[in-house]
Amino acid sequence: MNKSLMETITHNLIAVFIQILCFLYFIFPWNVIFTIIFAFLSHIILDDLSFITYHTPDSMKKDKFWLIWHYIIYALSLFSIVLFVIPYWISILFANIVDLWDWFTLRPIQKRIKRKNPDSKWGDKYYMHQIIDWVRKKLFYWLPNRIYKKSGILIEISIIIVFAILLGLLNVSLFID
Ligand SMILES: [Zn+2]
Protein backbone atom coordinates (compact mmCIF):
# COMPACT_ATOMS: atom_id res chain seq x y z
CA MET A 1 0.00 0.00 0.00
CA ASN A 2 1.12 3.49 -0.74
CA LYS A 3 1.77 5.52 2.31
CA SER A 4 0.24 8.76 1.19
CA LEU A 5 0.29 11.50 3.70
CA MET A 6 0.49 15.16 4.22
CA GLU A 7 1.84 16.55 7.45
CA THR A 8 -0.57 17.14 10.32
CA ILE A 9 0.07 20.87 10.40
CA THR A 10 -1.04 21.17 6.77
CA HIS A 11 -4.19 19.20 7.50
CA ASN A 12 -4.85 21.35 10.58
CA LEU A 13 -4.46 24.76 8.97
CA ILE A 14 -6.87 23.83 6.20
CA ALA A 15 -9.24 22.26 8.72
CA VAL A 16 -9.37 25.46 10.78
CA PHE A 17 -9.92 27.45 7.58
CA ILE A 18 -12.84 25.17 6.67
CA GLN A 19 -14.41 25.43 10.11
CA ILE A 20 -14.18 29.22 10.15
CA LEU A 21 -15.91 29.46 6.76
CA CYS A 22 -18.59 26.91 7.67
CA PHE A 23 -19.38 28.68 10.93
CA LEU A 24 -19.43 31.99 9.11
CA TYR A 25 -21.84 30.95 6.36
CA PHE A 26 -24.03 28.19 7.77
CA ILE A 27 -26.30 28.02 10.76
CA PHE A 28 -26.48 25.19 13.25
CA PRO A 29 -26.45 22.24 12.66
CA TRP A 30 -25.22 22.70 9.08
CA ASN A 31 -22.10 24.50 10.20
CA VAL A 32 -21.05 21.41 12.16
CA ILE A 33 -22.17 18.93 9.49
CA PHE A 34 -20.37 20.73 6.67
CA THR A 35 -17.26 21.20 8.80
CA ILE A 36 -17.13 17.43 9.34
CA ILE A 37 -17.71 16.60 5.66
CA PHE A 38 -15.29 19.15 4.22
CA ALA A 39 -12.61 18.46 6.83
CA PHE A 40 -12.78 14.76 5.99
CA LEU A 41 -12.66 15.42 2.24
CA SER A 42 -9.75 17.83 2.69
CA HIS A 43 -7.67 14.97 4.06
CA ILE A 44 -8.30 12.91 0.95
CA ILE A 45 -7.43 15.71 -1.46
CA LEU A 46 -4.35 16.82 0.48
CA ASP A 47 -3.01 13.30 0.76
CA ASP A 48 -3.50 12.87 -2.97
CA LEU A 49 -1.51 16.04 -3.56
CA SER A 50 1.23 14.75 -1.27
CA PHE A 51 2.58 12.87 -4.28
CA ILE A 52 4.25 16.06 -5.43
CA THR A 53 5.75 16.79 -2.02
CA TYR A 54 8.67 15.22 -0.19
CA HIS A 55 7.21 12.12 1.47
CA THR A 56 9.47 9.11 1.41
CA PRO A 57 7.42 5.95 2.05
CA ASP A 58 9.82 4.83 4.76
CA SER A 59 11.55 6.84 7.43
CA MET A 60 15.13 7.68 6.54
CA LYS A 61 16.59 8.35 9.95
CA LYS A 62 20.16 8.25 8.67
CA ASP A 63 19.48 11.05 6.23
CA LYS A 64 20.17 14.42 7.86
CA PHE A 65 17.82 16.35 5.62
CA TRP A 66 14.96 13.93 6.29
CA LEU A 67 15.64 14.07 10.01
CA ILE A 68 15.77 17.86 10.34
CA TRP A 69 12.68 18.37 8.17
CA HIS A 70 10.74 15.90 10.30
CA TYR A 71 11.86 17.45 13.57
CA ILE A 72 10.59 20.81 12.34
CA ILE A 73 7.35 19.57 10.82
CA TYR A 74 6.45 17.38 13.80
CA ALA A 75 7.10 20.26 16.18
CA LEU A 76 4.95 22.57 14.05
CA SER A 77 2.23 19.92 13.88
CA LEU A 78 2.16 19.54 17.63
CA PHE A 79 2.14 23.33 18.04
CA SER A 80 -0.79 23.66 15.62
CA ILE A 81 -2.79 21.11 17.58
CA VAL A 82 -2.15 22.84 20.90
CA LEU A 83 -2.94 26.24 19.39
CA PHE A 84 -6.15 25.33 17.59
CA VAL A 85 -7.67 22.33 19.34
CA ILE A 86 -9.80 24.71 21.38
CA PRO A 87 -12.13 25.65 19.76
CA TYR A 88 -11.46 23.96 16.41
CA TRP A 89 -11.38 20.36 17.62
CA ILE A 90 -14.21 19.22 15.32
CA SER A 91 -12.42 20.12 12.11
CA ILE A 92 -9.03 19.03 13.42
CA LEU A 93 -10.43 15.68 14.49
CA PHE A 94 -12.15 14.98 11.18
CA ALA A 95 -9.27 16.31 9.09
CA ASN A 96 -7.00 13.77 10.78
CA ILE A 97 -9.36 10.89 11.41
CA VAL A 98 -8.01 8.92 8.44
CA ASP A 99 -4.50 9.05 9.91
CA LEU A 100 -5.73 8.44 13.45
CA TRP A 101 -7.48 5.31 12.27
CA ASP A 102 -4.85 3.95 9.87
CA TRP A 103 -1.56 4.82 11.55
CA PHE A 104 -2.51 5.03 15.21
CA THR A 105 -5.24 2.40 15.54
CA LEU A 106 -5.29 -0.18 12.78
CA ARG A 107 -1.53 -0.49 12.28
CA PRO A 108 -0.65 -1.07 15.95
CA ILE A 109 -3.40 -3.71 16.16
CA GLN A 110 -2.10 -5.35 12.98
CA LYS A 111 1.44 -5.36 14.34
CA ARG A 112 0.27 -7.16 17.45
CA ILE A 113 -1.59 -9.77 15.46
CA LYS A 114 1.37 -10.29 13.15
CA ARG A 115 3.67 -10.90 16.07
CA LYS A 116 1.65 -14.00 16.86
CA ASN A 117 0.73 -14.86 13.31
CA PRO A 118 3.13 -13.37 10.75
CA ASP A 119 0.98 -14.45 7.79
CA SER A 120 -2.14 -12.73 9.03
CA LYS A 121 -3.74 -10.42 6.52
CA TRP A 122 -6.29 -9.20 9.02
CA GLY A 123 -7.08 -5.54 8.73
CA ASP A 124 -5.54 -4.89 5.32
CA LYS A 125 -8.89 -4.00 3.84
CA TYR A 126 -9.81 -1.60 6.60
CA TYR A 127 -7.15 0.98 5.73
CA MET A 128 -8.90 4.24 4.89
CA HIS A 129 -5.94 5.42 2.81
CA GLN A 130 -7.17 2.96 0.19
CA ILE A 131 -9.90 5.51 -0.54
CA ILE A 132 -7.16 8.07 -1.09
CA ASP A 133 -5.23 5.78 -3.44
CA TRP A 134 -8.46 5.12 -5.33
CA VAL A 135 -9.21 8.84 -5.72
CA ARG A 136 -5.64 9.46 -6.85
CA LYS A 137 -5.94 6.88 -9.59
CA LYS A 138 -9.21 8.45 -10.76
CA LEU A 139 -8.47 12.14 -10.42
CA PHE A 140 -4.82 12.82 -9.72
CA TYR A 141 -3.04 10.19 -11.81
CA TRP A 142 -1.43 12.97 -13.89
CA LEU A 143 0.54 14.36 -10.95
CA PRO A 144 4.26 13.66 -11.18
CA ASN A 145 5.70 11.43 -8.49
CA ARG A 146 8.09 13.64 -6.53
CA ILE A 147 8.05 11.93 -3.14
CA TYR A 148 11.85 11.61 -3.08
CA LYS A 149 12.54 15.15 -4.31
CA LYS A 150 13.79 17.23 -1.42
CA SER A 151 12.56 20.39 -3.12
CA GLY A 152 9.07 18.97 -2.56
CA ILE A 153 9.12 20.45 0.93
CA LEU A 154 8.83 23.86 -0.74
CA ILE A 155 5.38 22.93 -2.00
CA GLU A 156 4.23 21.90 1.45
CA ILE A 157 5.83 24.97 3.03
CA SER A 158 4.02 27.14 0.48
CA ILE A 159 0.66 25.57 1.34
CA ILE A 160 1.39 26.12 5.03
CA ILE A 161 2.32 29.77 4.49
CA VAL A 162 -0.68 30.50 2.24
CA PHE A 163 -3.13 29.07 4.75
CA ALA A 164 -1.39 30.70 7.70
CA ILE A 165 -1.83 34.04 5.90
CA LEU A 166 -5.47 33.26 5.03
CA LEU A 167 -6.16 32.47 8.67
CA GLY A 168 -4.47 35.71 9.64
CA LEU A 169 -6.67 37.61 7.17
CA LEU A 170 -9.74 35.90 8.58
CA ASN A 171 -8.59 37.17 11.93
CA VAL A 172 -8.52 33.66 13.28
CA SER A 173 -9.77 33.90 16.77
CA LEU A 174 -9.02 31.28 19.34
CA PHE A 175 -12.63 31.52 20.45
CA ILE A 176 -15.83 30.90 18.59
CA ASP A 177 -18.43 33.48 19.47
ZN1 LIG B 1 -3.34 10.70 5.55
71-99: pLDDT as tens digits: 999 999 999 999 999 999 999 999 999 99
- Separation of 99 CA from ligand 1 center, angstroms? 5
- Separation of 130 CA from ligand 1 center, angstroms? 10
Position 129 pLDDT exceeds 80: yes
> Among residues of the chain, what percentage have pLDDT more than 90?
85
Cβ-contact 47, 128 below 8 angstroms: no
> Among residues of the chain, what percentage have pLDDT more than 70?
95
- Separation of 4 CA from ligand 1 center, angstroms? 6
pLDDT at 3: 55
Put residue 123 in one of left, alpha, beta given phi > 0 → left and psi -120 to 50 → alpha: left
Average pLDDT, stretch 104-112? 94
pLDDT at 1: 42
Q: In whole angstroms, how large is the CA radius of gyration of the chain? A: 17
- Separation of 89 CA from ligand 1 center, angstroms? 17
- Separation of 41 CA from ligand 1 center, angstroms? 11
pLDDT at 41: 97
Phi, psi (rounded to 5 degrees) for 4: -90, 130
- Separation of 102 CA from ligand 1 center, angstroms? 8
pLDDT at 174: 63
- Separation of 177 CA from ligand 1 center, angstroms? 31
Position 34 pLDDT exceeds 90: yes
Give the Å distances, CA to CA, from 166 to 3, 9, 57, 154.
29, 15, 30, 18
- Separation of 55 CA from ligand 1 center, angstroms? 11
Average pLDDT, stretch 134-158? 94
Per-residue pLDDT of 35-57, as tens digits, reads 999 999 999 999 999 999 999 98
Mean model confidence pLDDT for the chain: 92
pLDDT at 127: 94
Least confident of 38-42, 121-125, 157-161: 121-125
Position 150 pLDDT exceeds 90: yes
